[in-house]
Amino acid sequence: MIRIPMILAAGLLLPTWATAQECGPTKQTIGWSQPNNVPIEDDNAIRWPTNASVRLAYGGPWCPSEDQISLTDEEGNEIAAQVRVKTPFKLVTNAPDALTLLEVDPIESLQPRTDYQLVVQPPDPALEVNREYQLSFRTRLGPADDGEINQFEGIREARLNDDRCVEAGAFFALDDTNPICPVPNRLYVSVDFQPLNRADIAYVVYRTKSTPIATIDNPETEPPDLTPVAIAFENGARDLLGTGVPLRSSRTFVPYYPLPRRDCFAVMAIDEWGRERGDLTNESCIDLELFEPCPEGCDPAVMMCQVFPEPNPFEGGPPLPGQICDYVGINGGDADQEIPEIGQEPMEMSDGGLTDGGMGPGSMTDGGVGSSGGGSSSGCTSVGHHSSTALVSVLGILALLRRRRIAAP
């Protein structure tokens, strides 16, 4: 039951709730990484595509700077990269923070069958082991296969998590153990989806809309929230045992107020360029009704009998954005590199070089003379008998097709 003094305190603390990040963790923790942080000679080590971003998920406040992240090859050469930070929204004030996604995207394609090391140094790590987080990985022969990501089906189902009659099942009661940062009543929803058999693909979970449902007793409702917001990031998966990739369940807190209402969710895949792929209109919705006492008709004085409080306006509010960080360029990389539109990517050859639309050196048949790029990311193509001015123009255009870019916000 909600205690009356705490309701009053909630009203007084409402401005404080609007800055929920102040009530979150103050130290950084590394949640998961892509590829997995295992020795590169391990049987479970993943051979990384030569054109894929490397990702970490972390908790706690941190906007990384250039001197806190390094990417080097096996000979110690620095690799220029763009670092992007993507933060989820919070639907419930002072609920646990979802992990922030950090993408380290090499400007040039990585060399095939080469060892690399990413080192991340959070400024205030919660664990000493994360003070200098080292991720070593080995690339495979070629780039990621773009065809598989088009098979991602999106969300399977959104559902209330576990039995609503069990303590801390679907319903989480008001937590006022810290009066400075009280957590209102909230509900625990699971968002199920089937990951692809691709370790280099990440996923973002959206709440696409929240619509209050009118009743006879309450015909006037608040306007619906129709703005999709990212609420969680999930890492990739692959089939290690030959039994298929397990179904993934992403769990998130949603507000207890208002009831009844309908919340809708969707899942998008994040490709090797950091772009979201899929259909945001492919939703699964769940109707959240007023909860009856559990078990039905039980005596509230009996243990294990859960009585649900009436929802109240102090438990609502708009989604709260996470921390906002600028993109960073490391090792001379450009923080503002552009990402090509889907379907406009320069094709990558098996030796790690790039071609412009799949046309390699010497592939033109109009008498042109092939030019070798030597693994350059400028996408060298065959050049015919043009004037030097035209040649400069062509090279200028091709320079725009460079391998790396900036992610869409």
Mean pLDDT in residue range 197-210? 96
HSE at residue 315, side-chain half, CA atoms within 13 A, is: 22
DSSP category for residue 268: E
**Counting Cβ atoms within 10 Å, is residue 271 exposed (0-12), middle (13-18) or buried (19+)?**
buried
Tens digit of each residue's pLDDT (9 = 90 or more) over 351-409: 445 544 333 333 333 333 333 233 333 222 222 333 333 333 433 433 333 333 333 44
Instruction: State the chain's mean pLDDT as an integer.
Output: 80
Question: Please, are residues 84 and 407 in contact by the beta-carbon 8 Å criterion?
Answer: yes
pLDDT at 25: 87
Tens digit of each residue's pLDDT (9 = 90 or more) over 28-64: 999 999 999 999 988 888 999 999 999 999 999 999 9
Q: Please give the CATH topology (third level) of the domain spanning 23-144+325-330.
A: Immunoglobulin-like (2.60.40)
- Average the pLDDT over each of 132-141, 203-212, 384-393 and give the range with the smallest value: 384-393
Tens digit of each residue's pLDDT (9 = 90 or more) over 239-271: 888 889 999 999 999 999 999 999 999 999 999
Nearest C-alpha neighbor of 133 from the set 32, 232, 263, 215: 32
**Cα separation, 325 vs 14, whole angstroms:** 26
Q: What are phi and psi of 270, to 5 degrees?
A: -115, 115
pLDDT at 409: 41
Q: State the DSSP string of 381-396.
A: --B-S--HHHHHHHHH
- Average the pLDDT over each of 64-68, 76-80, 122-126, 338-342 and give the range with the smallest value: 338-342
**Cα separation, 306 vs 302, whole angstroms:** 9
Mean pLDDT in residue range 168-197? 91
User: pLDDT-based confidence at 147, cuts 50/70/90?
Assistant: confident
Between 296 and 126, the higher pLDDT residue:
126
Mean pLDDT in residue range 330-354? 77
Domain limits, the chain: 4-15+148-315, 23-144+325-330, 338-409
Mean pLDDT in residue range 218-243? 91
pLDDT at 360: 33
pLDDT at 303: 60
**Cα separation, 148 vs 165, whole angstroms:** 41
User: pLDDT-based confidence at 348, cuts 50/70/90?
Assistant: low
pLDDT of residue 208 exceeding 90, the answer is: yes
Mean pLDDT in residue range 153-178? 84
Tens digit of each residue's pLDDT (9 = 90 or more) over 74-83: 999 999 999 9
**Cα separation, 291 vs 260, whole angstroms:** 9
pLDDT at 345: 78
Tens digit of each residue's pLDDT (9 = 90 or more) over 277-286: 999 999 999 9
